[in-house]
Amino acid sequence: MISKSPEVSKIMDILSHEKRLAMLCIISEWEKNISELVEILEISQSLVSQFALKMKDQWILESKKTGKEVFYRIKDTKTLELMQALKTIYC
C-alpha cells in the first residue's frame, strides 16, 4: 500500500469533493455529456467542465466526441471498481 500511496491519494483527493464524487457516481453507471451532468448535478457548465478536465488530465476519465457533443466515461478500472464498491456500501 505504501508504494501505491501517491496513486491512492490522487483518487481520494478527487473523491473528497462532493460534486466530483457525485459526477463519478453518475458516470460510473453510463457515459454522460457535460449538459447532462450540469442538469443532474445542478452546477454550472464551467464547473462541470473544470472537473471533467481535471479528471481527464489525471487519467481517471476519457472522452468521446460524437458530433458536437463530448461524452465522458471512467477510464481507470480501479476508479470504476472503487465507485462500484462505494455504491454497494452506501447505496
From first to last of its 91 residues, the chain has per-residue pLDDT tens of 678 888 889 889 999 999 999 999 999 999 999 999 999 999 999 999 999 999 999 999 999 999 999 999 999 999 999 999 999 998 7
Residues forming a β-bridge with 72: 32, 63
CA–CA distance, 90 with 68 (Å, rounded to integer): 36
AA letter at 11: I
Q: Is the pTM of this model over 0.75?
A: yes
Burial degree of 1 (CB within 10 A; 0-12, 13-18, 19+): exposed
Nearest one of 76, 68, 69 to 28, comparing CA atoms = 76
